[in-house]
Structure 1
Amino acid sequence: MRTVRMYFRLLGAHIRALLEYEGDFWIMMGGTIVMQVVNVVFLSAIFAKVPAINGWTFWAVVAMFAMVAIAEGVGSLFFEGMWNLAWQINQGELDYMLVRPYPVVLQVSSANIGINGLGNILTGGLMLGAALSHVDVSWSAPRILLGAVVIVSAIAIKVAINLATNAAAFWMQSPGPIFAFAVHQAGDLARFPISVYPLALKAALGFALPFAFVSFFPVTFLLGHGQAWVGLLTPLVAVYCLAMAAWIFRRGLTRYESAGN
């Protein structure tokens, strides 16, 4: 609990620093919301021409966009510091973190905050709520509970992928998160049903880099569409991804040699 309290105190310090510039805060929030509105308008334009994409309706795809937005929002708001890891390694700034009585991975994660994540969480939540209200799903207490577990697990998978790919900087030693950014861009493919992609891409998004468990499979469970049972595997995939990300980070940390200054 002390570690958790410390983590949120560090994030709170970054939030207070950002709020010193209120104009920047509202511009970032407004820009994030506009981006999500543009996504919905883009989808509306597509579905104005076709009734469904490989059996998936407009609101089902909106739900997938929403899941990606929520996962990215949580990653930005609470774990944005991961994207600074490559720079910290290159400049030897991890030296300071190694001598502090606090887990290095949490120090890295809380080293920065992306306030735009708040806008993604809010708009993603609204999009998901609207999507679920437009589908015929029989909700019960167990289904709501399972749905919440699946959503939290999907977010955990996205955070774990970000950590693992950013930890590649221990081997690449580049000052920028080039590899992590490339993988992040590939994750945008998960905004659409993976059933529309060729087999190789399905395998990549479903197993190699399980972005499909961030959006597609959780939505199949929430909507009861297609092979909904696969969505129930999301918590297991989350545990695997978190364990692998932690292992990669620890292995990378053993390779850290400072910057020699």
Structure 2
Amino acid sequence: MRTVRLYLRLLGAHFRSLLEYEADFVILVVATVLMQVVNIVFLAALFAKVPALNGWTFWSVLMMFGAVALAEGVGSLFFDGMWSLAWQINRGELDYFLVRPYPVALQSSSAKIGVNGLSNIVMGIIMIGTGLAHVDIAWTPWRVLLGALLLISSVVIKLSINLATNAVSFWLSSPTPLFAFAMHQVGDLARFPLSIYPIALKAALGAVLPFAFISFFPVAYLLDTGQSRWIGLLTPLVAAYCAVAAAVIFKRGMRRYESAGN
């Protein structure tokens, strides 16, 4: 609990500093909302020409868009400092983190806050809620709890992938997280049903970098759609695996850290 309190206080300090520039704050929030609106308009235009994508309707794909937006929003709002890890390594700023009685990974993650994550979270919830309102699901207490667990697990998967891909910077000399950015772009493919992609891409998104467990598999299970819908039940296990793998990669990367010198 002490770690959680410290983490929230660090984020609060960054948030208050952002609010010092109210116009920038409002512009960033509005820009992020408009970006999600553009995604919805694009999706609506697509389904105006194509009634379904391999059996997936507009509302089911909208839920996938919402799941990705929500996961990205949580990552930006609460863990945006991960994207500064390459710069922290290159500049030797991890030296300060190492002498503090607080986990290095959490210090790095809380070093920055992405205000755009707030609007992504809100828009993600709206998209998921709107999609659920237009599909036929027999809700039971068990299914509600399971849906919440799948949603939390999808967020953990996204955060773990972000940490693992940014931790690759320990093996690279670049001050920018080029590898992590590239993998983030690959993750955008999870906005659409996995079944529309070729088998090689299915394997990449389902096993190598399990972005499909952020959106496709959980939504497929909840909607009882597709031949592989049962795989959605593995989402919590995949989340646990990704979290452990990210922790191991970060720990091994820390062993390679040599500071920036003098």
**2: distance between equivalents of 1:157 and 1:140?**
26
**2: distance between equivalents of 1:30 and 1:232?**
36
**2: distance between equivalents of 1:230 and 1:216?**
10
Aligned-pair CA distance for 1:224? 1.8
**Cα deviations by residue, 1:108-149 (Å, 9 ceiling, x for unpaired):** 000000000000000110010000000000001110000000
1:160 matched residue in structure 2: 160
**1: distance between equivalents of 2:69 and 2:128?**
10
Aligned-pair CA distance for 1:228? 2.4
Aligned-pair CA distance for 1:230? 1.0
1:164-179 maps to which residues of 2 (within 5 A)?
164-179=164-179
Unaligned runs of 5+ in 1: none
Q: TM-score, with normalisation over the residues of structure 1? A: 0.99
1:111 matched residue in structure 2: 111
**Cα deviations by residue, 1:206-247 (Å, 9 ceiling, x for unpaired):** 000000001100111222212322111000000000000000
1:1-261 maps to which residues of 2 (within 5 A)?
1-226=1-226, 227-261=228-262
Query: 2:229 is matched by which residue type in structure 1?
Result: A
**2: distance between equivalents of 1:182 and 1:51?**
31
Root mean square deviation, CA, Å: 0.6
Q: TM-score, with normalisation over the residues of structure 2? A: 0.99
**2: distance between equivalents of 1:81 and 1:199?**
34
**1: distance between equivalents of 2:112 and 2:87?**
13
* Identity between Structure 1 and Structure 2 (%): 68
Unaligned runs of 5+ in 2: none
**2: distance between equivalents of 1:222 and 1:203?**
22
**2: distance between equivalents of 1:111 and 1:49?**
45
Query: 2:236 is matched by which residue type in structure 1?
Result: P
**Cα deviations by residue, 1:20-72 (Å, 9 ceiling, x for unpaired):** 11111111110111111111110111111111011100001100000000000
- 1:54–1:195 CA contact under 8 A, matched in 2: yes
**1: distance between equivalents of 2:121 and 2:41?**
18
**Cα deviations by residue, 1:138-168 (Å, 9 ceiling, x for unpaired):** 0011100000000000000000000000000
Query: Deviation above 6 Å: which 4+ runs of structure 1?
Result: none
- 1:15–1:113 CA contact under 8 A, matched in 2: yes
- 1:132–1:223 CA contact under 8 A, matched in 2: no
Aligned-pair CA distance for 1:173? 2.1
Q: Secondary structure at the match of 1:20?
A: coil
**Cα deviations by residue, 1:178-225 (Å, 9 ceiling, x for unpaired):** 000000001001110010000000000000000000110011122221
